[in-house]
Copies of this chain bind each other. A is one copy, B any other.
Amino acid sequence: MGTEFLKIMDHNDVKDIIKNIPIKRKTERIPLKEAHRRVLAEDIRAKIDLPPFNRVSRDGYAVKAEDTFRASEDKPAKLKCIEIILAGEVATKKVEKGTCIEVNTGAPTPEGADGVVMVEFTEKEGDNVYINKGATVGQHIAYKGSDIQKNDPLLNSGILLTHDKIGVLAAIGIGEVLVFKKPKVVIISTGNEIINYDEEMEYGKIYDINSQTIANAVKSCGCIPIYSGISKDDYNDIKNNIKEHLDADVIITSGGTSAGGGDVLKVVLDDIGEIFVHGIAVKPGKPTIVGIVKDKPIFGLPGYPAAALTVFHVFVAPFLRKMAFLDSHKKSDVLKLKISKRYHSSRGRHQFVLVKIEKGTAHPILKDSGAITAIAEADGYFEIPKNVEMIPEESEIEVILLESR
């Protein structure tokens, strides 16, 4: 009855094996409007100078600075205002000695002017403007290319296009960008007892949980989940489901990996693929499979929801994030918290413990990995090395959040 584990492996060795799985990345060109939180796949250089012209940066009067050098409140300089231009307008006249042009922030600096006096330091009477404070050369003018020069490097391939970086691309008139394609990840739940939520509940059946949990976790890793439905614990059913989805980039199954009679995934992979890992010295998640079918990495997660979720976070998510060219670990998702009570660990296995965070304290969830309430309460998890048997009450632990709230 049941199959043997190939060889129970240390979790760090498994991480190394997963790190060495070769990754192929594809790119696609998409409209900037759809690029939020995508990863840039090209180096972007400025297509234009910024500002694109000598730009007025304060509301006021464009002047020849030398006309105002000695101006003060007591002895204002008197200039003749020869034109009024607004932002978006271009002066038709030229600032000559003794004259000025009224300008607004954002307007091109009129020809002949080399400084701008803020409106606060002026008084206007008819066509005459009295300047109460001298302007230096270049004052309140943002010169063409002073912020960015055409062909300057601006953003590097590999950065995440957050809203601010999209603004930078918009600034130079970019309407489309090359980004990494989101990897497609097929989700297969296996088990004769698993039914879809829209099926009639029968005695002995349970609803499919892992498809939903894993598919949405996959989204958070920058990938696109593809629901493949539920496979029976049947050699042909699982094999066909996998073969049908080899156009995807990664395959994730759950269930059917324990050493029980229902374990057919291993047999399928022995036939059509290769198994790298079958059994990890962790709790939960011991009966995990890692392998490959025709160049497509496949992860066989345990069936119990909390175990599947934990294995996904620890071993699969970093791989998917790397494939999607996102950082494997976001620093902000790790919190240092005190543990609310003493926790005893299982000897000989590296352990992952789900916790609920309440008032800045981590409460370990003392439920087995079959319990749904464990997931209902969980905010994150912490790790206990295999040689540590007990975590004392109130000691500090590093909690990795399941998903940013």
Contacts and interface: CB of A to CB of B under 8 A. Distances in A.
Interface of A: 1-2, 32-33, 36, 48, 50-53, 55, 57, 59, 84, 86-90, 102, 104-108, 119, 124, 142, 147-148, 154-155, 160, 162-175, 191-194, 197-198, 201, 203-217, 219-220, 227, 232-233, 258-262, 303, 305, 309, 327, 330-333, 335, 367-368, 370-373, 375-376, 378, 401-405
Contact of A50 (B90, B148, B262, B372): B372
A258 B60 CA distance: 12
A256 B48 CA distance: 25
Contacts of A105: 258, 260, 262, 303
Given A86-B233, A88-B204, A330-B404, 6 more contacts: A1-B124, A51-B206, A88-B194, A106-B206, A163-B217, A167-B375
Contact of A90 (B57, B204, B405): B204
A164 B368 contact: no
Contacts of A104: 260-262
12 contacts: A52-B205, A52-B206, A86-B261, A88-B233, A89-B192, A108-B203, A147-B373, A163-B212, A163-B213, A170-B208, A171-B372, A332-B401
A208 to B, nearest CB: 6
A395 B197 CA distance: 55
A205 B370 contact: no
A173 B201 contact: yes
Contact of A88 (B154, B192, B212): B192
Contacts of A233: 86-88
The 6 closest A-B pairs by CB, nearest first: A88-B192, A167-B213, A163-B216, A59-B260, A88-B193, A170-B212
A162 B402 contact: yes
Contacts of A205: 52, 88
A102 to B, nearest CB: 7
B52 A168 contact: no
